[in-house]
Structure 1
Amino acid sequence: METLEQWRRILEKTLQYYANLPYRYGDVRTDVVVSRDYNHFFLIHEGWDGSKRIHGMVVHAEIRDSKIWIHYDGIEGSITTDLVAAGVPKDRIVLAFHAPEVREHTGYAVA
């Protein structure tokens, strides 16, 4: 299972890279949140842009069935590009935000 541990480190490092980027407007911070079992990874924004509340998920990824499931990807260029560049094979990444019948056309894992 060393590969899963490597993927966990890659996920956390990649999300931390995005968390370290300054938010464009207002007083907003970006945090990486990892579940206790180290299988769920979140990137979230929280703060204020003037009088407007900013709070939301940017990325939700999960380690499930020996694959990385991307449930939500709000990164402009897609976090999957970063994961593949870091060595995660495309057939080990599920774009879970696509319907199962669409996934087979993405070039990534179906499930």
Structure 2
Amino acid sequence: MDRLEFYRETIENVLKKHADIPYSYGEIDEYLIVDRDRNHFLLLDVGWQQKRRVHGCLTHVQIIDGKIWIQRDGIEDGITEELVAAGVPPSDIVLGFQPPEVRPYTGYAIA
């Protein structure tokens, strides 16, 4: 299996585990949206909580130029450590939600 396919499967497996965890309050469903052709992976929340509509992107991950870019990470403990534990080197993970000037201090790739 080549690196791109390994990254696609790893991201999808990590996010699927989170999508399968039911919310403990409200009527909220979580959907895993995968676009393998364009290398986008999203967790989307849809539903109602205390008469308030919930609809938004919880997590957005992309593969850009062979690196995993975490554009948004709304998971409680984050997904970076899960990706590393699954075999993705930190040098191939970019915390895209961090400003470029902060990235050199994160322990992950800068771009």
- TM class by shorter-chain length? over 0.9
Aligned: 1:21 with 2:10: no
Please give the secondary structure, in 2, of the residue aligned with 1:6.
helix
1:87-106 aligned at under 5 Å gives the runs 87-106=87-106
* Identity in percent: 50
| 1:85 corresponds to | 85
Please give the secondary structure, in 2, of the residue aligned with 1:77.
coil
Cα drift, residue 36 of structure 1: 4.9
Q: Distance in 2 between matches of 1:82 and 1:4?
A: 17
Change over 3 Å in CA distance of 1:50–1:16 after alignment to 2: same
| 1:56 corresponds to | 56
Task: In structure 1, list runs of 5 or more residues that go unmatched.
Answer: none
| 1:75 corresponds to | 75
The answer to whether the 8 A contact 1:8-1:38 is kept is: no
Q: Distance in 2 between matches of 1:101 and 1:14?
A: 28
Q: Distance in 1 between matches of 2:17 and 2:83?
A: 12
Please give the secondary structure, in 2, of the residue aligned with 1:60.
strand
RMSD of Structure 2 on Structure 1 (CA):
1.2
Please give the secondary structure, in 1, of the residue aligned with 2:102.
helix
Q: Distance in 2 between matches of 1:106 and 1:22?
A: 31
Please give the secondary structure, in 1, of the residue aligned with 2:3.
helix
Q: Distance in 2 between matches of 1:4 and 1:24?
A: 35
Q: Distance in 1 between matches of 2:49 and 2:15?
A: 22
Tell me the matched-pair count: 111
- Using structure 1 for the length normalisation, give the TM-score: 0.95
4+ runs deviating over 2 angstroms: none
Change over 3 Å in CA distance of 1:17–1:50 after alignment to 2: same
